Chains A and B, each alone.
Chain A
Amino acid sequence: MDRPCGSFDENYKQDSAIIRTRTQWGWLIAFLILLATLPFITSAQILSTLNFIGITLIAVHGLNLLTGYAGQISLGQAAFVAVGGYTTALLNIHAGFSFWAALPVSALSAGIVGLIFGLPSLRLKGFYLAMATLAAQFIIPWCIVNIRPDITGGTSALIVPAPRLGGIVFNSQQSMFYIIMPMAVLVTIFVKNLVRTKVGRAFIAIRDNDIAAEIMGVNIFRYKMLAFFLCSLLAGIAGSLWVSWLRAVDADYFTLQESIWFLGMVVIGGMGSTAGAVMGVTSVRFMDLGVKTAANRLGELYPSAATGIFAGLGPFLFGFIILIFLIFEPHGLMHRWILLKNSYRLWPFSRY
């Protein structure tokens, strides 16, 4: 990272710190305080979008570990989110688990299902692996709907009770915010640190050249499995939070479309960048909110085309933006941000 001149590292601790300068600490603390007070100052609609961002962020961090860092394409993230969500819902309803007990179980069960569908990655890569995870995306929701419709509710939605802690019931957007956001922040810190360790470096080595990585002594199978496990573990946490936030679960939430959106967020933010995932999720979800608002307005102006605009505008813009990013900025928003910061720092000698 480029730093202003005169700021030197004097020991290893400073050298390996994520947050380097006092200004950065200041910004971080200010941001966290702002985040903590947001529920009191924003409107209900923005707040529910923020909650959704927090949940999506956890799932996208997982996918970023798998696709962005370890280089394994997954088209099945939404299915793993579904596993987590349904585990929480079923444990809540049929086994009387509290949300807090169901959360780790959901994460683990999603992680194990992820391991099963990650097995083909032993022999496959690229397109072939994408297809194996595509199979997961169709098979998992099918199993949820068809195998035991008497306990999963089949195609109809299940109602999930709100999480409780002592006397507090987390049944509003405001209260859920204080479960979701700390979780999202913790996961971000976890992922950010994980990718700086031996594991993260092994992931990157596998992504860049798996044969070379194997020759250097990286146990490819083990690390690919670990990537799949962590990816679906985080998906499971996201699913558990998702159903407790919506207080309902339906197999229709977790379609191929949703998996594509997760991948798109990784691409737009910048693959292989933790901050990029945050940027990607935030910008796509706010874009979606903006599109919905705009579609409502347009629908009022042109009532005859209202349903078409409402159903079509969001997917069209999302697909279009991913394509534009892939063609013109494959490194994503994060790369742009770094360029911008550097050019600001070097002005008037910068080129961008």
Chain B
Amino acid sequence: MDTFLQFFISGILNGGIYALIGIGLVLIFKASGIFNFAVGQLLLVGAFATWAFLKWLELPVWLSVLLAMVVAALVGLIIERLVTRPLIGQPVLSAVMALLALSVMLKGVFAFIFGPATVSYPADVLPGTPVSLSGASFSGELTWGFLIAVIVFGIVTLLFYRSRIGLAMRGTAEDHQLAQATGINVKHIFAITWMAAVLVAAIGGIIIGSKVGIGIHFTPLLGVKVIPVVLFGGLESIKGCFVAGLIVGILESIVGGYVDPNLMVITPYAILLLVLLFRPYGLFGQKRIERI
């Protein structure tokens, strides 16, 4: 029972982080109908920025993380302005391709600045002492990371449903032209959405980075796992994103623990394929009806 609890809870802890990164994708999809395929590389933005401030400028941890957030927000603004805005109204393939191209480009930038080697933070960003609970013990970074992830997830959800800017975001999600007609600046909403998305990705990147280190090859692969999560929950659903994050995290952890550790890598994609075959709109997503 203890091992089961161990796998179950570490699955939940991982799942919370997936959910946090996933909410960025959901927000972007709701606002602009674009699916953020570059999410893997966006994790690296925050992770590497924090590392650079810690290592090269030798700033304290809180300041590094804060500055990294600023960098992430700026990157979000730049992406919206230079990549997605020129492609408004273009076919789906253009948007997919543009974000893939962006991820390749970011990979080049990171490889250029930080090199291909895996690095880890010189100081403890999150406390690393293991937390133990009724016989099972969990990595401290993961536990703290999970708490932060849930809090940030809550804040974003609250802002989306309870604030004025969230109201504008929801309006934009309903209909771009109607939103524009009621005086919402749709372009600003897109920009804010992208900023928020890169911010949460950055937080996720820092949490993952403080646990397993940062590398231009494996960190993006961890980020891409969020794509099955978001799809499972339903592309438009914040609630679904959280539930699916936990489910995928738990399944991944249990399959990895009981069946074969190697299977862990592809569990999310197997779930993705099953979801696409049997319930393409996900757990809580909108069922699409097509009209000519």
| Chain B residue total in the interface (Cβ 8 A) | 47
Asked if A264 and B108 sit within 8 Å, CB to CB, the answer is: no
- In Å, the complex CA distance between A271 and B91 comes to 12
Query: How many angstroms between the C-alpha atoms of A295 and B5 in the bound complex?
Result: 51
Smallest Cβ distance from B26 to chain A, in angstroms?
13
**Complex interface: chain B residues within 8 A of A182 (CB):** none
Q: Of A88-96, A117-125, A242-250, which binds chain B? A: A117-125
Count of residues in A whose CB is under 8 Å from the partner chain: 48
B101–A312 CB distance below 8 A: no
**Chain B residue nearest in CB terms to A327:** B86
Could you tell me if B97 and A263 are in contact, using CB atoms closer than 8 angstroms?
Answer: yes
> Which residue in B104, B115, B277 is a CB contact (below 8 Å) of A315?
B104
Interface residues of A in 106-133 (CB under 8 A from B): 119-120, 123-124, 126-128, 130-132
**Which of B58-66, B153-161, B190-198, B261-269 makes up part of the contact surface?**
B261-269
- Beta-carbon contacts of B267-280 to A below 8 Å, as 1s and 0s? 00110110011001
- B130: which A residues are within 8 A, CB to CB? none
**Chain B contact residues: helix, strand, loop or mixed:** helix
15 other A-B residue contacts (CB within 8 Å) besides A135-B228, A309-B112, A316-B107: A73-B93, A75-B100, A127-B92, A130-B37, A131-B35, A131-B276, A132-B272, A138-B265, A142-B265, A257-B104, A316-B108, A322-B104, A323-B102, A326-B98, A327-B98
Bound together, the chains give a CA A135 to CA B265 distance in angstroms of 11
**A119 contact set on B, CB distance < 8 A:** 277
The docked-state distance in angstroms from the alpha carbon of A130 to that of B115 is 30
Is there an interface contact between B266 and A307, defined as CB atoms closer than 8 Å?
A: no
Residue B94 CB within 8 A of the other chain: yes
Q: How far is the CA of A138 from the CA of B272 in the complex (A)?
A: 11
A135 to B272, Cβ gap below 8 A? yes
A146 on the interface (CB 8 Å rule)? Answer: yes
A73-B96 contact given A120-B273, A327-B87, CB 8 Å threshold: yes
Complex CA gap A182/B86 in Å reads 41
Q: Is the CB of A211 within 8 A of B292?
A: yes
Q: Is A100 positioned at the interface, with any CB of B under 8 Å from its CB?
A: no
Across the A-B interface, give the 3 residue pairs with the lowest CB-CB distance, nearest first. A316-B108, A319-B105, A312-B112
With an 8 A cutoff between CB atoms, is B110 at the interface?
A: yes
Q: Name the residue of chain A whose CB is nearest to the CB of B100.
A: A260
Contacting residues, chain A, for B290 (C-beta < 8 A)? 211
Determine whether A218 belongs to the interface, using a CB cutoff of 8 Å to chain B. Answer: no
Is A186 close to B, CB under 8 A? no
A138 CA / B244 CA spacing, docked (Å): 20
Bound-state Cα–Cα, A263 to B228, Å? 21
B276 contacts which of A67, A128, A256, A264 (Cβ < 8 Å)?
A: A128
